[in-house]
Amino acid sequence: MYRSLRWIVLAALMLAGSKMHAQQYAYIVRFADKNNTPFSLSSPAAYLSPRAITRRTNQGIAVDSTDLPVNRTYIDTVLDLTGTGTKLHSTSRWLNFCVVLLRDSANIHTIEDKPWVAGTEFIAWYADSLHRPSDDAGTATGGLNAGNKKTWASAEYGNTWIQTALVNGNKLHDDNYTGNGKLIAVIDAGFIDVNTHPGFTSMLTDGRLIDTYNFTLDEDGVFGWDVHGMRALATIAGYVPGTYIGSAPMASFALYISEDNNSEQPIELANMLAATERADSVGADVVTTSLGYNLFDNPADNFVFATDFDGISTIAAKAANIATAKGILFVATAGNEGGGGWNMVLTPGDADSALTIGSVDFTGVSAPNSGYGPNATGRVKPDVCGMGQLAAIFNGTGYGNQSGTSFSTPQIAGWAACLWQAYPTATPFQIKEAIIRCASRYTSPTAQQGYGIPDFWCAVNMILSIGDDLVPFTTASWVTANPNPTHDIVNIIVAPDEDNDVSFQVTDMTGRVLISRVEHLRKGYNDAVAISLSHLPAGIYTLNVVAGTQHQVQKLVKF
């Protein structure tokens, strides 16, 4: 009711919009190509940081056209043709678009017939300028230091001991896996008190806060607007021995704002995509977000679970999936809609590649409002759960408790970073797989807990002993396709019920068969069947796998 009422008011304002000189309309402008770019695939240092290049090199990920920046000539032409006062809000190199803010929505028609414009999409309206004055509370800087090895006793964790012990995280810390050397990007609504709370002193004085940006307002400041991101960050970065120890207290961090608390509009998903791309470019290993979306101020923008939450369709899900293809572990909230009218996970928590996190209490019982899965294609969601019910957080300059998947999600992201520190050459698929295989419900996932509560001591031993042989495969499906989306090779992991000839067909959306092959595979786990999509144009395809009476269909995305 609240959302609908707010949209009625907003619609009334739009009708009077011609009298408001400061009003702005936000549009996505999609480009057809990146022709005549001054950048090249052979010189990625011009647009990717050394950390980002190293991450790709370590995982054997090639730099490709999606890494190239958006054609600046196209952007400048859009700004010129759409009238005085048009502003560039953000760009997406992965999906090859920009977001612009126009004073007059009719001006978008001046570019729609250009051959280099692939399409436009209205995503927000503002009665006043979006890039309003900031309430950022200051800045924080420092130089980089590494944490020292130590033994972590339960008393040192103080408020966080219960949520730490629930996942055996303290044993990671005992082996000096504290996130040192890993970079975690936190995407949220605001970070009030991060530059003043004593629990962040170690992060700030060690210089482990390496990047900040407010993608909502297109400015650097993030120490304002909301405490939500500060509380999420605390569960990872907090470090006050004897009182509070976060899950990855010696990691480095990038803090990004993508949420706009003044409205709920689709532009926020584009903001999240822009933040994820920046996290990629600065070399982040892990992205975590406690934001999720399903409903908007304008009911016409609302997502439909059956068609939109298929793991690959929303802009937020695409951000998660492409980030994973770039070598980043994307950790997303399942949301707090469980038991309500929506009940299911939110996006990007529906994303195929995301490690999606639900919430439990200290005994392992699901929080009543933790979002249910699976996603619309039947993929198990959430993947695992952490302690989000009465989680220990920072409150003002002190400490407190708050409930929600917003606080279980960053905890697991921090533990994942510690696990990755133990095996630096792992891929995000291997990290995710180790976490899932060591979860309490791995053999019998449920709708609200997924694979259950992870055991990170089990996970670190698994990944250290199995290493490169830890290929992605779970019991949720006898067919798994990774990476998906992909630019070239997709690896199909198949576990048929019996020894059998297994057929693989890739079809386009009209049903036309583009790839067809047959492999004789044994019962149970098999090595990956690699299928190249390099000769196909970017788009959505269907993978059909048949083994005897078994038949599975999956969507494949080529970018």
> Looking at the chain, how many residues does it have?
559
Q: Note down the domain range covering 321.
A: 157-469
514 and 432, same structural domain?
Answer: no
359 and 505, same structural domain?
Answer: no
Is 147's pLDDT higher than 80?
A: no
CA 215 to chain centre: 15
Is residue 40 a part of any domain in this protein?
A: no
Q: What is the pLDDT of residues 193-235, one digit of tens each?
A: 999 999 999 999 999 999 999 999 999 889 988 999 999 999 9
Is 385's pLDDT higher than 70?
A: yes
Q: What is the pLDDT of residues 277-288, one digit of tens each?
A: 999 999 999 999
- What is the structure's pLDDT at 390? 96
- What CATH number does residue 450 fall under? 3.40.50.200
Q: What is the pLDDT of residues 32-64, one digit of tens each?
A: 999 989 999 999 999 999 999 999 998 989 999
Is residue 72 a part of any domain in this protein?
A: no
d(CA 81, CA 99): 15
Q: What is the pLDDT of residues 97-124, one digit of tens each?
A: 999 999 999 999 999 999 999 999 999 9
Is residue 65 a part of any domain in this protein?
A: no
- What is the structure's pLDDT at 154? 78
Check residues 509 and 549 and name the one with the higher pLDDT.
Answer: 549
**Under 8 Å between Cβ of 551 and 545:** yes
Domain boundary among 437, 469, 501: 469
444 and 533, same structural domain?
Answer: no
- What is the structure's pLDDT at 522? 86
Q: Enter the pTM of the model.
A: 0.79
- Mean pLDDT on 474-484: 68
Contacts of 158 (CB under 8 A, 6+ apart): 240, 242, 243, 244, 245
Is residue 62 a part of any domain in this protein?
A: no
Q: What is the pLDDT of residues 162-195, one digit of tens each?
A: 999 999 999 999 989 999 999 999 999 999 999 9
284 and 227, same structural domain?
Answer: yes
Is 10's pLDDT higher than 80?
A: no
The b-or-e profile of 114-142 (16+ CB within 10 A means b, else e) is eebbeebebbbbbbebbeeebebbeebee
Domain boundary among 416, 443, 469: 469
Is residue 68 a part of any domain in this protein?
A: no
483 and 432, same structural domain?
Answer: no
483 and 374, same structural domain?
Answer: no
Category of 343 on φ-ψ map: left (φ > 0), alpha (ψ -120 to 50) or beta: left
Is residue 124 a part of any domain in this protein?
A: no
- What is the structure's pLDDT at 13? 40
Is 144's pLDDT higher than 90?
A: no
Structure tokens at 559: 């970018």
| Weakest-pLDDT range from 26-35, 329-338, 491-500 | 491-500
498 and 398, same structural domain?
Answer: no
402 and 551, same structural domain?
Answer: no
Is residue 152 a part of any domain in this protein?
A: no
d(CA 480, CA 493): 5
- Of the chain, the percentage scoring pLDDT greater than 70 comes to 89
176 and 228, same structural domain?
Answer: yes
Is 426's pLDDT higher than 70?
A: yes
On the question of a cis peptide bond just before residue 483, with omega within 30 degrees of 0, the verdict is yes
Check residues 90 and 557 and name the one with the higher pLDDT.
Answer: 90
496 and 400, same structural domain?
Answer: no
462 and 405, same structural domain?
Answer: yes
- What is the structure's pLDDT at 153? 65
Is 1's pLDDT higher than 50?
A: no
| Total number of domains in the chain | 2
- What is the structure's pLDDT at 20? 42
Count other C-beta atoms under 10 Å from residue 396's C-beta.
Answer: 12
- What CATH number does residue 551 fall under? 2.60.40.1930
Band of pLDDT at residue 367, cut at 50, 70 and 90: very high
d(CA 382, CA 400): 26
Structure tokens at 366: 């699901």
- Of the chain, the percentage scoring pLDDT greater than 90 comes to 70
Is residue 69 a part of any domain in this protein?
A: no
The CA distances from residue 521 to 494, 514, 533, in Å, are: 8, 22, 22
460 and 510, same structural domain?
Answer: no
503, with CB counted inside 10 A (0-12, 13-18, 19+), is middle
